[in-house]
Each structure stands twice: as structure tokens, then as C-alpha cells.
């Protein structure tokens, strides 16, 4: 496609090339093909880009998830210079490695899910265990017989009839204790009066 050699067209093409980013749904082959197309269009409008500049721009088009590869290539560049052939080979190798890792993870997840019981089975198992525990509790309650009222389902300490009788007995006053106290107080008064009589007689 013919591009006019105007400054505006040159700026637009350069902006597209600089802002270009590799997307997750795009393959490395598609990305490098689009990249090379923009480089060729810039060359047609007399803005040629050298091999090193192209390799740097291609590396800068990678997302943050590829940062490890960018650092590795930058540190391993001989004489501090990169080439398009080296960068392209590294991109294709990295893409293949990521696909293999994704396949391994998917296989591991499938095997893990196969080993787990299904949701209905888990729920039914939990329901059975809960039913058993409830049945045991009900059997235990039935085995309890109150020795006070001879009814099943509770013990004497929880018997409402026995508790009611205990409450009434505690609320009644203790007449015998009151009489004993009166008797003691009466004896004390007599003793005091006798002492007074003795003292008056001596006077």
C-alpha cells in the first residue's frame, strides 16, 4: 500500500510501531508479521530503521509478563547489540515453552479434578454423617429415663417436675429454726433478768 511521504504519515506510522504491543490472544508469528509490515511502510516513506533499532522496538513491544526474556536477551547481547534474527528466535522459543507449560498445568488440573469426588457425592456424604449424628443423639435421649417421674427423654436433674418441687420447698420458711432462735433469745433474757435480781438483792 502506497504511503505519501509526508511528515504526518511518517509520524502516524512511527506512533503505531512504537505503541505496538503483543496481546495474549495474538501469536508471535502474527505479531512479528504486523511489526515487519510497519517497518516496511516506514522504509517506503524514507524512514529506514536499522536491524538493531528494529530488534529494540520489537523487544519493547512485549508485555510485562515477558520481562524476564527481555532482561535475558539484553544481558546476553554481544557488544551490547541485538539482532532481529536473535530476538525472533527467542520469541518463538518462549512461546513454545509457555504452551508446553500451559498444557502441563491443564493436564495436572484434569487429573486433580478426577481424583476429587463430585459435589453431589460430597453433599450426600455430609448429609449421611449429619443424619447419623442426629440419630445417635435421639437414641441417647430416648435411653435416658427420669428416676423421679419415670418418663423417658430426660434425667432427674433436668426434670421440670422435680425442679418445681425443689423451688416450692426452698420458698417455704423454716419454722423450726425460727422457734429455736426464739427459744435461745428467751433463755438469754431470763438469764439477764436473773443477774439483775441478784445484783439488787446484794444491794
* Domain residue limits at 160: 133-170
Same domain assignment for residues 156 and 60: no
Mean pLDDT, the chain, integer: 77
Q: 68-94 pLDDT, tens per residue?
A: 999 999 998 888 899 999 999 999 999
* Three-point CA angle 151, 157, 161, nearest 5°: 55
Determine phi and psi for 145, rounding to 5 degrees. -125, 130
Mean pLDDT confidence for 18-22: 96
Is 149 inside a domain boundary? Answer: yes
- pLDDT above 70 covers what percent of the chain? 60
Specify whether 28 is located in the same domain as 108.
yes
Q: Are 38 and 17 in contact (CB under 8 A)?
A: yes
pLDDT digits (tens, 9 = 90+) for 137-182: 555 555 677 777 878 777 777 887 878 888 766 655 555 444 444 4
- Residue 2 is predicted with a pLDDT of 57
Q: What is the pLDDT of residue 158?
A: 81
Residues 65 and 105 grouped into a single domain: yes
Amino acid at each position: 500500500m502506497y504511503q505519501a511521504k509526508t511528515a504526518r504519515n511518517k509520524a502516524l506510522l512511527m506512533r503505531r510501531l512504537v505503541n505496538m504491543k503483543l496481546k495474549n490472544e495474538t501469536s508471535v508469528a502474527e505479531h512479528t508479521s504486523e511489526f515487519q509490515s510497519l517497518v516496511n511502510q516506514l522504509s517506503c516513506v524514507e524512514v529506514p530503521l536499522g536491524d538493531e533499532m528494529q530488534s529494540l522496538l520489537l523487544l519493547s513491544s512485549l508485555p510485562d509478563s515477558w520481562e524476564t526474556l527481555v532482561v535475558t536477551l539484553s544481558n546476553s547481547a554481544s557488544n551490547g547489540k541485538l539482532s532481529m534474527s536473535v530476538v525472533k528466535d527467542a520469541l518463538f522459543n518462549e512461546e513454545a515453552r509457555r504452551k508446553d507449560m500451559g498444557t502441563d498445568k491443564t493436564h495436572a488440573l484434569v487429573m486433580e479434578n478426577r481424583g476429587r469426588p463430585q459435589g453431589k457425592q460430597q453433599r450426600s456424604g455430609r448429609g449421611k454423617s449429619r443424619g447419623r449424628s442426629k440419630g445417635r443423639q435421639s437414641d441417647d435421649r430416648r435411653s435416658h429415663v427420669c428416676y423421679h417421674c419415670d418418663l423417658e427423654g430426660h434425667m432427674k436433674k433436668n426434670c421440670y417436675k422435680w425442679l418445681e418441687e425443689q423451688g416450692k420447698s426452698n420458698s417455704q420458711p423454716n419454722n423450726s429454726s425460727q422457734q429455736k432462735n426464739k427459744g435461745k433469745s428467751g433463755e438469754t433474757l431470763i438469764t439477764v433478768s436473773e443477774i439483775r435480781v441478784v445484783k439488787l438483792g446484794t444491794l
